[in-house]
Structure 1
Amino acid sequence: MTQKMVQESDRFQDPIEQHPGYAETESKIAIWGHPLHAMSVAFPVALTFCAFGADALYWLSGEPFWAQAALWAAGTAFLFGLAAGATGTMELLMVPGIRIRAPAWTHFVIAVLLLSLLGANWGYRLTGYEAAVLPYGILLSGFNVIVVIATGWHGGKLVFDYRLGTSKGS
């Protein structure tokens, strides 16, 4: 490379990459090297889809069982989401290489939005689960599915592209 190209590449270095904790991305919230956040997010994701599916089945069949199933799925999605959110927040705040990256904070903000929506979905159903399904319950569940897809995709990018919150192994 020419001297000019070397000077230009030095000039365009990312200052975040120069931070002392930038390379420190290994999970600190783990059991025997298995990151708790990565293990716990599967439950609220699956239950969010279950709530939407139960709403759709109630809409198609009119069977009260599906409205009650949606209530339980929405509630457990919210409660498991709180657990997943707690582990993710601890990970974000405790690991310097995660905390310094903007995409980690974007994932955090979207996940907090999702938790708010999951709580609203559950709370809306507590006053009467059958009456809550149509039309607003199923719309809220459908929107939750969209937000959980966005949150999960963004979280997956953090793990697979940036290797954040993973275990380096022994």
Structure 2
Amino acid sequence: MAEEMVQTEGEQLEDPILEHEGYDDTESIIGIWGHPLHAMSVAFPVALTFCTFGADALYWWSGELFWARAAIWAAGTAFLFGLAAGATGTAELLMVPGIRIRAPAWSHFVIAVLLLSILGANWGYRLQGFEAAVLPYGILISGFSVLVVMVTGWHGGKLVFDYRLGTSKGS
């Protein structure tokens, strides 16, 4: 029995993932006129995550109340837009077989859910008093969310550029 498991010279092992019938089915199905919604919507929470951190840093530097107020708005909007981007990404992950079968897509999903949790915590923490929330914990949470958004963005970009997942191949 163990002898059957040994690979002979010249014999190629078959990857069951590559042999999956939906492996090459990676085109986005959640879109408008061929434009993938997830790819279009992720820019907003990414940018707003950086804006929250920037507003926190400017509040720390200047002491101007405007920046603390800008940070709570950026944090809340990042979270809400992140939910929308997450909904479209989750739909793509679950509905497209060629995306669902790949482990890197699930890694991106898990990190993105972590990011949404941090963005929601950052916004929620500020709701009780946005000015007092900035230092020290608000800026620390914002800094951590910037690191997490960079990691999940890198993973998402790798899925698009290396594997062409969730893209539109045109008509």
Q: Give the TM bin, normalised by the shorter chain.
A: over 0.9
Partner of 2:130: 129
SS at match of 1:28: coil
SS at match of 1:15: coil
Q: In structure 2, what is the Cα distance between the partners aligned to 1:67 and 1:14? A: 53
Partner of 1:65: 66
More helix per residue: 1
Partner of 1:86: 87
Q: In structure 1, what is the Cα distance between the partners aligned to 2:56 and 2:137? A: 10
Identity, % of aligned positions:
82
Partner of 2:23: 22
Partner of 1:38: 39
Q: In structure 2, what is the Cα distance between the partners aligned to 1:4 and 1:57? A: 64
Partner of 1:4: 9
AA aligned to 2:44 is: F
**How many residues are treated as equivalent by the alignment?**
164
Return the offset for 1:4.
Answer: 3.5
- TM-score, reference length from structure 1: 0.95
SS at match of 1:164: coil
SS at match of 2:66: helix
CA RMSD of aligned residues (A): 0.9
Partner of 1:47: 48
Query: Cα deviation per residue 1:122-149 (whole Å; 9 max; x = unaligned)?
Result: 0000000000000000000000000000
AA aligned to 2:23 is: Y
- TM-score, reference length from structure 2: 0.94
Partner of 1:167: 168
Structure 2 gaps of 5+ residues are 1-7
Q: In structure 1, what is the Cα distance between the partners aligned to 2:63 and 2:164? A: 46
Q: In structure 1, what is the Cα distance between the partners aligned to 2:157 and 2:132? A: 36
| Runs of 4+ deviating beyond 4 Å | none
Structure 1 gaps of 5+ residues are none
Q: In structure 1, what is the Cα distance between the partners aligned to 2:158 and 2:73? A: 30
